[in-house]
Structure 1
Amino acid sequence: MFKKILKGLNVNLDDIAKNVAKAQKNKSEGAHHDMLDAYIQGDMQKAFDSGAASVGYTTMNTATEDPNDPQLQPVHGITVYDYAAGAAKIGEGCTEEQVCRALGVERPLWDEAQTTWNNRMRDDKTMNVVNVYSKHFGMAKDHEKLGALQPDNAPVTNIPQGDAAANLQRLETDKHYFFEIQAAIQAAYDHGIDGAQWLIDNLGLTVSQVNGAGTKWMNDFNTMAEMMDYQDQKKNEYSQRFAQESGTGGIVDDINF
């Protein structure tokens, strides 16, 4: 999910620029006028939110959780927060049975809820449901019933638990580190390396944990725009490193994690 957003960032910026040009022709046009003002002020988040609104989409900043919205009603008592947090925990190595026990639901009900929530996200043309889901995915550790759940099938790693916890904390607090690791994952896959396994081997973390930790960075379009060049730089560095390790590149300095 997050990789797709990052890959599409340049396109989004181009679209904003094109819409700004259109808005300059007609400043009385509400959404485009707001987008133009935000763009001029350097507020890329507001420009992005306004641009999305102009074509009928929400973003993670503008998504709403109306308790009367039929698309956000619980399924067999499983809320969108329950489902998002459960999905995050499964991504960490928890089993569906663990999640079901913690939520107090039977497995068939979870399976039906999973299908319903996935269909709602797929069919919602405004992107509101998927944006609410994404927000809660990043809040899994705060979930009352699932937050402290420890995975039965945690990936095997030689990284000490304390170091892995420190890496996770750093991803949540250091945007440069988060975008560096995103760059490393991309570079790994480009070189035929399993990026998910690379995370486990080098950070002691799963993709789900990294994505959850980075939700706030990915929720801030200003940060994403700011960090694009940095991520490209880091991707090049990791690409050289992986090429050297595979015997296809030149000598580069070691990269410290």
Structure 2
Amino acid sequence: MSSTNELYQNVSGKQKDEYRDYLTVLDRMDWHSYDYTTWPCADLSFPDIAEDEACDLWPFKPNLNEPHWVDLNSQFRSGIRRYGYANRFEMPEQVQELSHSVAKEQLSFIQELQHSNTDEFTTQIKQFGFSDEKHFSWGVSLLDSAEEQALDAADDFLKEQKAKLDAQMDAHIEAASEGGLLDPINGIDMETWAAANAKIAGGMDLEDVLKVVGTEKPIWDEVSAEWTARMSQDTTFAISKVYGDAFMNSDIGKFASSETNETSETNTSTGGSALEKVTEDFELYIKIMCHQNMGAAQGKDAASILNEYGLNVTDWSSVGAHWSTKMATDTRMALKMGELMEKYNAEFATAGAGDDIDF
């Protein structure tokens, strides 16, 4: 067997020609007798490592085509994962036989006994195949880590798909623009028409909107009919995308001046607008959504419920687009939405959607 000095080499950043002899040594290594705990720098006391503290490398069997090192002190600088890795903990077969969700549920139940019923806790972890409390804590941490990795992978996939769809839509919009489908109608472009509709939906008087646009109602009706026809005939939905973006962000173009904007009410207790609050608070967004849903079931007007929160229809459209975009690439947020909807649907169903609210 090769000596540890021959094997304990850091070749990161080097070209293969520079460590050809090293590859030969590794190829002859009897990995069945490999025990990293006996190698140089193996500290079996496993003290936690500060983030800014320099640490020795722990050697590990490399990929023979691309030698590398696993630095225990980088992967697990502190905590039970570090301890479990160094002690070669394995998940008991009793847990491996369960699905991830069932295993999480079972171990969570045992965790609740950890401080309330020590004897029962010890009995339970033994029945599940854990050797002691540290082994159990490591198992819980490993399941949590696996869940986090799965969620990260799901988010990465969603982001990749969204990027592809965005690129495809950008191409459709460019083609629509080059083909004249986004050319102004009677001098009114798509963004202006969409912003005007957003202002009307938000409560701005039609006559005031037409003054800002600089047109009269007969022309406005013709323009609206034509833009609607173009959107209905556009199978790529490029025009609808341009419309939606302008509708959600309607303070543009001729509607950019403060005199023409209908703003949501200001919450003087926090110094911020109601729109800002719900844009920054995901739980509040779900709460209002549930309030509207339960209110609709009870025959109440959704717009009046929004007014209770200092919002109007345009605000709500903007907020919805904001959070929908985030949830499209955040699996955790989508899961949280389900929990919050269950909570607030029950709350409003019990109290009645028309009751006083705590904003």
- Give the alignment's TM-score, normalised by structure 2: 0.48
Runs of 5+ in structure 1 lacking a partner? 1-38, 155-159, 248-253
Is the aligned partner of 1:219 residue 2:329? no
2:222 is aligned with 1:108: no
Q: Deviations over 1:27-59 (max 9, x none)?
A: xxxxxxxxxxxx767231432464798xxx73x
Query: Per the alignment, in what secondary structure is the counterpart of residue 78 of structure 1?
Result: coil
Task: Tell me the CA shift for residue 100 of structure 1.
Answer: 1.0
Aligned partner of 1:105: which letter?
A: T
The partner residue of 1:186 within 269, 293, 296 is 293
Q: CA deviation at 1:182?
A: 2.9
| Structure 2 segments unaligned to the other structure (5+ residues) | 1-152
Where is the helix percentage greater, Structure 1 or Structure 2?
1
2:251 aligned with 1:135, yes or no?
no
Is the contact between residue 85 and residue 136 of structure 1 (CA under 8 Å) also seen in structure 2? yes
Give 2:305's match in structure 1, choosing from 188, 192, 198.
198
Amino acid at match of 1:87: N
What's the % identity of the aligned pairs?
Answer: 25
Q: Secondary structure at the match of 2:186?
A: coil
2:253 equivalent to 1:144:
yes
Per-residue deviation, 1:235: 2.3
Match of 2:267 in 1: 163
Contact 1:180–1:231 at 8 Å: present in 2 too?
Answer: no
Q: Verify: 1:244 aligned to 2:358, yes or no.
A: no
Residue identity opposite 2:267 in structure 1: D
Write the letter of the residue equivalent to 2:341: K
Aligned-pair distance for 1:178? Answer: 3.0
Task: State the AA in 2 paired with 1:113.
Answer: V
Matched, 1:209 2:315: yes
Residue 65 to residue 178, structure 1, CA distance change in 2 (3 Å): farther
> Aligned Cα RMSD in Å?
3.3
Q: Report the number of matched residues.
A: 200
Instruction: Tell me which of the two structures has the higher relative contact order, counting C-alpha pairs closer than 8 angstroms and 6 or more residues apart.
Output: 1
SS in structure 1 opposite 2:197?
Answer: helix
| 1:36-47 equivalent positions in 2, closer than 5 A | 42-47=156-161
Cα distance in structure 1, aligned partners of 2:332 and 2:296: 24
Spell out the pairing of 1:32-111 with structure 2 (5 A cutoff). 42-48=156-162, 50=164, 58=169, 64-65=173-174, 67-111=177-221
Question: Which whole-Å CA distance do the structure 1 matches of 2:171 and 2:289 have between them?
Answer: 25
Calculate the TM-score normalised by the size of structure 1. 0.64
SS in 1 for 2:254: coil
Give the direction of change, closer, same or farther, for the CA distance of 1:49–1:117 in structure 2 (3 Å limit).
farther
Give the distance between the partners of 1:179 and 1:62, measured in 2 at CA: 34
Q: Is the 8 A contact 2:188 2:223 kept in 1?
A: yes
Greater gyration radius: 2
